Chain A
Amino acid sequence: MTYIRKPKFANPHIRSNDLGLTHRDYEGSLTTLCGGCGHDSISAAIIQAAVGMSLPPHRVAKLSGIGCSSKIPAYFLSRSHGFNSVHGRMPSVATGANMANKELYFLGVSGDGDSASIGLGQFCHIVRRRINMLYIVANNGTYGLTKGQLSATADPGSRTKSGEESQYDNIDMATLAIELGASFVARSFSGDKSQLVPLIQAGLSHKGFAFIDVISPCVTFNNTDFSTHGYKNTWENYQALSSIDYVPMRKEITTSYGAGEDKEITLHDGSVIHLHKTGSDYRPEDRDNALSHISDYRKKGKIATGLLYINQDQADFHELNDSVDKPLNTLASSDLCPGNEVLQSINETFR
């Protein structure tokens, strides 16, 4: 009578993807988060993104730290690989996993506490190291799991349900990521899947470190009228710099757009994103332009969202380090131990 399992019956009219799977096949176990938590919408958006891209679930690795947000990998893609790590330490685990198998899609999910407080150091370094992954921060301006303390992303003056007011300047994760060298940076809102889903798809397709700061209200502890991370403020103040469509590489591109209104970007895996301008002279390839837009909007009390910055020409960690082509688990012992002759020739170089 309480918290039933989600019934197995599905709507026969939902679409299935190229793998013959519907979004019901990408679900995880039933959420244990508070009803209305933005994090659940992020789970749903990830599921939609994965269905739309026909991601084979077993090709995905989900990684997280600690927090309500870090729990969500349990609620989607139950047939994927997963690692729920220590608080703030997901970047290390993600880096290791990525080293071991560069062929998987890596999806990190963390919170503002997990990544901007205890894990800030780890966060900075994974950005800097250009690990090829999509890193999502479900940002609610609070430590939800520990009952609503203000986090480092809470804007000054923002107030939680208990009435606590943020005294300090906030850390803007998107700005930080751009400054530290992330090659794909976006911001979105859990309430707007029409924007969030294509951003997740583009982030997964992007080669290099992709980051999405998703405003994801904590309905229980930080959803007051005075909270900048609540539903009310976000609905009222989020503004997309451009709207985005994602076309997976297998799909033919049929829509055409008027010159000047639209920017078409082909990603490394052949998929395409379309950015439709919404008025401003926004140039997502221009790092300084991106940073100034973010702070201009912020000064007006607005939240700039959409694809903020993209750089497709940056080499990622594997390229920079000329790592082995194949996943380590596929290497034969002859690759790992090439024999005395090879050893001798290596030793020769040190003489």
Chain B
Amino acid sequence: MKATDISNPDYFHKVVDCQWACPAHTPVPEYIRLIAAGRYTDAYMINWHSNVFPGILGRTCDRPCEPACRRGRVEEQPVAICRLKRVAADYKEDISTRLPPVPRKKNGKHVALVGGGPASLTVARDLLPLGYEVTLFEKDRKSGGAMRTQIPRFRLPEEVLEEELNYILDMGVNCRFGEEITSMRELLEENFDAVFVGTGAPLGKTLDLPGYQESRENVHTGIEWLAGVAFGHITSIGRKVIVLGGGNTAMDCCRTAKRLGGEEVTVAVRSGFDEMKASPWEIEDAQAEDIPILNFHVPKRYIHENGRLVAMEFEKVRREFDANGKRLLVPTGDAPVIIRCDDVLCAIGQENSFPWVERDLGIDFDQWDLPVLDKRTFQSSNPKVFFGGDAALGPDNIITAVAHGHEAAVSIDLFCSEADVQQRPPPETLLQSQKMGIHQWSYDNDISIELRHAVPHADKSRTLKDLNIEVELGFDQRLAYEETMRCLNCDVQTVFSDNLCIECDACVDICPTDCITFTRNAEEATLRQQLIAPATNTDQDLYVSGELKTHRVMVKSEDLCLHCGLCAERCPTSAWDMRKFLLNTAKAGSPCQKP
């Protein structure tokens, strides 16, 4: 293998598994250390710069970082990264003085944002400090998008939502709430310098089965129903409720129904339990509220009496695989299952919909009716129009919408400065030695061996009675500290200087997880096998040095490195050093940007 090029920022970035997996690339271990130090406000600001909504995301994020977290490979469970983010938000002080100043003198450019969800708001936040004028069109009377209309208040309290929306709105967004954009042509005619579309994926689906027409009144689209609840239009539901679907929307529907008077709420899923799309923790929370989830139940018809829905019929299936390994759901032949109900909530998916975008404006759409976009710049085939969030690539999550928003803001800024949108500014990186003394580091390398700490919940006898009582209580400061100690500081990189190495084996001998081997060089596949501990996880890189005096190379498998620094402590020549790698993705107006 060729010697590893550690000057490529991707190399060390990838070692920080959580940051690499985070769509917005939040510097996770950096904020975790600040929480450990009790510097909640600083930890919050790191988050705020990267992911814009730390308090919201600290409660609701899909947390792609956690399955990626190295700790999950070293022991059973990842660090509770997401809930630590909430800790920063819960215990921070006033941040108003830390927000970026917005110049009174504008730069003369005016950008329209359609839709007031996280994608658009991120664009607004990134562009306002640069002097842009920003006008936000939102069909609802309030901003927040699905964060307000879909996510129930028992997961995301109103004050948390308002606080973080207001940080942005107060920067000087021209809010045109209650205004639905019904024609892109007309919007373009208003001569904005750029238009950003962040309208989400607003179209829910219902299940049209026999008996649907007669039962319509009590068969609801999950996302519309949740929005109705959020705005207070819907305040009750029947005693018996069936929720169809196995995703997060289904979990929010069933838990909300339970709080609006649903006494017998049942979730029915077509496929197997293990195939459910909902996040494991959402499923756990629903089950903790005594909501049964029936798997392998395929809905067949709505049963109605006297023009009213009374039950649903299901066919039981089992999973089989055909010759090509394709999964099939085959009827078991058991008698159909009839479940009585007063209401059905369909949580079986949502779609994008752009009836208001005329098709002769140079904005191309693909076969799924999604806009054709450059995946890096989020520019559509009409160079003035950008898309982001669920509107760009279909329904996803908040943090992805934020990541799109950042990239789109960079693009819009480049576009408005008549620069090439493809010339993206590089990330800001810093690689800094943590050495303080022979065996002293400026980070705490003595990691805890404790298992993941659970977040305490409020008593369900209380929470099930009131839609607005938050279920999760969050970590207190002591528990938060204990949890921070589980983080392995993956950003504190092991940096090797081959010219200093005397091949004494001290690092090899001390390494608790056998990451380091001195060996003859070979092709990657061979090299992976000839290490002291074979490196079978090919998602994780090998760090290969230049040739050493004995014609061998140092090979380090990054997979299970604990970043404990012992290799560097034992190294007599400082050929190993522990250096903190800090990476911030470039935001709009980055100083590295070419003029």
Give A residues with C-beta under 8 Å from B: 1-14, 24, 31, 34-38, 40-41, 43-44, 190-191, 193, 217, 219-220, 223, 231-232, 235
Q: Are B550 and A10 in contact (CB under 8 A)?
A: no
Indicate whether A13 sits within 8 Å of B569 (C-beta atoms), given known contacts A7-B562, A36-B506, A44-B505.
no
Q: Are B446 and A11 in contact (CB under 8 A)?
A: no
Q: Are A8 and B449 in contact (CB under 8 A)?
A: yes
A31 to B533, CA, bound (A): 22
Say what secondary structure dominates the interface of chain B: loop
Contacts of A1 in B (CB 8 A): 439-441, 444-446
Q: How far is the CB of A37 from chain B (nearest CB, A)?
A: 8
Q: Are B509 and A41 in contact (CB under 8 A)?
A: yes
Sort A-B residue pairs by CB-CB distance and give the 7 closest, nearest first: A36-B572, A35-B570, A44-B509, A2-B439, A4-B446, A11-B533, A11-B513
Q: Are A9 and B570 in contact (CB under 8 A)?
A: no
Contacts of A40 in B (CB 8 A): 505-506, 509-510, 570
User: Chain B: which residue is nearest A2 at the CB level?
Assistant: B439
Q: Are A9 and B512 in contact (CB under 8 A)?
A: yes
Judge whether B502 is part of the interface by a CB distance below 8 angstroms: yes
Additional pairs, 20, CB under 8 Å, beyond known A1-B445, A7-B449, A232-B502: A1-B441, A2-B437, A5-B446, A8-B449, A9-B513, A10-B513, A10-B514, A36-B502, A36-B570, A37-B504, A40-B505, A40-B509, A41-B506, A43-B509, A190-B504, A217-B504, A219-B504, A223-B502, A231-B503, A235-B503
User: Chain A: which residue is nearest B531 at the CB level?
Assistant: A13
Contacts of B180 in A (CB 8 A): none
Can you sample 5 A-B contacts with CB below 8 Å?
Answer: A1-B445, A9-B512, A10-B514, A41-B505, A235-B550
A59 to B67, CA, bound (A): 44
Q: How far is the CB of B452 from chain A (nearest CB, A)?
A: 14
Q: Are A35 and B533 in contact (CB under 8 A)?
A: no
Contacts of B235 in A (CB 8 A): none
Judge whether B227 is part of the interface by a CB distance below 8 angstroms: no
Judge whether B345 is part of the interface by a CB distance below 8 angstroms: no
Q: Are A11 and B571 in contact (CB under 8 A)?
A: no
Indicate whether A9 sits within 8 Å of B74 (C-beta atoms), given known contacts A4-B566, A35-B571.
yes
Judge whether B534 is part of the interface by a CB distance below 8 angstroms: yes
Contacts of A43 in B (CB 8 A): 509
Contacts of A2 in B (CB 8 A): 437, 439-440
Contacts of B564 in A (CB 8 A): 4, 6-7
Contacts of A36 in B (CB 8 A): 502, 504, 506, 570-573
Contacts of A38 in B (CB 8 A): 504
A36 to B507, CA, bound (A): 8
Q: Are A14 and B512 in contact (CB under 8 A)?
A: no
Q: How far is the CB of B262 from chain A (nearest CB, A)?
A: 45
User: Chain A: which residue is nearest B513 at the CB level?
Assistant: A11
A271 to B264, CA, bound (A): 71
User: Chain A: which residue is nearest B549 at the CB level?
Assistant: A235
User: Chain A: which residue is nearest B441 at the CB level?
Assistant: A1
Contacts of B512 in A (CB 8 A): 6-10, 24
Judge whether B536 is part of the interface by a CB distance below 8 angstroms: yes
Contacts of B572 in A (CB 8 A): 34-37, 219-220
Judge whether B458 is part of the interface by a CB distance below 8 angstroms: no
Q: Are A14 and B533 in contact (CB under 8 A)?
A: yes
Q: How far is the CB of B539 from chain A (nearest CB, A)?
A: 14
Q: How far is the CB of B306 from chain A (nearest CB, A)?
A: 63
Contacts of A223 in B (CB 8 A): 502
Contacts of A219 in B (CB 8 A): 502, 504, 572
Contacts of B449 in A (CB 8 A): 7-9
Contacts of A7 in B (CB 8 A): 447, 449, 512-513, 562, 564
A223 to B566, CA, bound (A): 22
Q: How far is the CB of A228 from chain B (nearest CB, A)?
A: 16
Q: How far is the CB of B74 from chain A (nearest CB, A)?
A: 5
A237 to B49, CA, bound (A): 57
A185 to B573, CA, bound (A): 33
